[in-house]
Each structure stands twice: as C-alpha cells, then as structure tokens.
Amino acid sequence: MKAFEDNLIAYIEKAVAWLKRVATVRRVFSFGAGTFLAIYVMSLIRTQLLPLAAMIQDVISGEIYLPEVDILSVEIVFLPLAVITVMVAPLMLWGKKGLAFQIFGITASVFLAIVIFFFVLATGRLNSVVFFIVLSIAIFFVQLLLRVLDGLYRWLTLSSKVDKQVDPAKLTIIWIVLAFFLGLFIR
C-alpha cells in the first residue's frame, strides 16, 4: 500500500509540474469561462432547440404538413466543396500563420456549431459529444476574445514604457463604436 501511495504522490507531482508548464492564467481562465458559457449554451439548446426538434419530428412523421422544398443535386455537391474552400482559404495566408489558424479555428467552430444545430434538430437529443464540442468551441471563443482584448489594450496604451497611459482619442473612438452598437441593439 505504501508503494501505491508513493507512486500516486509522484504521479500527482508530475501532473502539477506539467500543469505549471502548460497552463497559463489565460488558459485556466478560458477553461473556466468557456465551461460556464458551454453550460449556458447547453441550457439554451435544451430549452429552445429540443422543442423545435420535437416539432420537426412531428413534421417528419406526417402529423404536420409542410410544402416540399426542391433541393438540386448540384447544391448538395457544391455545399461540402464550399465549406472546404472556406476553411482552407485562411491557411493560404503566407507569413501570417497565427492569424491563418485563428481564422481557420473560427470557421471550423462555426461549421461545427451548424453541424451540432442540425444534429440536435434531427435526433432530438443531447449527448456528451455535443457538450464537449460546445465546450471546445466556447473555450476557443473565450481565448480569442482575450486575445482581442489584449490587442485592444496594447493599441490603446501610449508608447511610454514607464506608465501605461491610455490615449484619449483612441478611447473616444471605442466609446463611439460601443455607443453605436448599443444604439442598434437597444431600442
């Protein structure tokens, strides 16, 4: 039993050392905030999308009649081609590998979200795979938001290294943009 405890303690120490190397504050925060966001999105899916899926199942079973929609076979062929080209296009940016992978990640996340949407509508149920995909998308978007906020902060600060003063002209531009978008959405 003592050997097992020693091995377990050694394993835990190795795991903690690995976490200290790999996990930065940004990654830990992204995981926590992404988990909260994923749980919120899953509750929205549960309350909003599952009743819609039940209605679609009624339409499929023939209890509710909807007019037929013609889908051409050409559209079915070109849809995957369009998805692939949109996802591969950012990777063709030469010299900007980080930006290319971020754009690829955004495109792949949107595509996965659409696939999840249709999966839940078609099956009418949630499973752990859906949760883990939603969780990974949420963590990615939180990390992306933190990078954008970090870049915005660097853009706002003046070039003096001594104290981090904010440029008032740039801050005014941000307030104007925020007021514009708030005016659009809040009426």
Please say if the pLDDT value at position 6 is more than 80.
no
Q: How far apart are the C-alpha atoms of 97 and 90, rounded to whole Å?
A: 9
Number of helices (H), then strands (E), in the chain: 7, 0
Mean pLDDT of the chain: 76
Residue type, 173: I
User: How does residue 161 score in pLDDT terms, banded at 50, 70 and 90?
Assistant: low
pLDDT tens for residues 70-113?
666 666 667 777 777 776 666 666 566 676 677 777 778 888 88
Average pLDDT of 163-173?
81
Specify whether the CB–CB gap between 156 and 174 falls below 8 A: yes
| pLDDT score, position 2 | 66
Average pLDDT of 157-172?
77
Q: Which two tokens stand for residue 17?
A: 């050392």
Q: How far apart are the C-alpha atoms of 5 and 11, rounded to whole Å?
A: 10
Name the residue with tokens 């120490």: 13
Specify whether the CB–CB gap between 180 and 171 falls below 8 A: no
Say what percent of the chain tops pLDDT 90. Answer: 0
The residues pairing with 157 across neighbouring beta strands, listed in sequence order, are: 166
Measured CA distances, 52 to 67, 116, 117, 120, 126 (Å): 18, 14, 11, 9, 13
Measured CA distances, 69 to 64, 66, 76 (Å): 15, 9, 14
Please say if the pLDDT value at position 140 is more than 70.
yes
Instruction: Give the pTM.
Output: 0.62
Please say if the pLDDT value at position 7 is more than 80.
no
- Domain boundaries in the chain? 2-155, 157-187
Q: How far apart are the C-alpha atoms of 118 and 129, rounded to whole Å?
A: 14
Measured CA distances, 24 to 16, 28, 102, 143, 176 (Å): 13, 6, 19, 12, 33
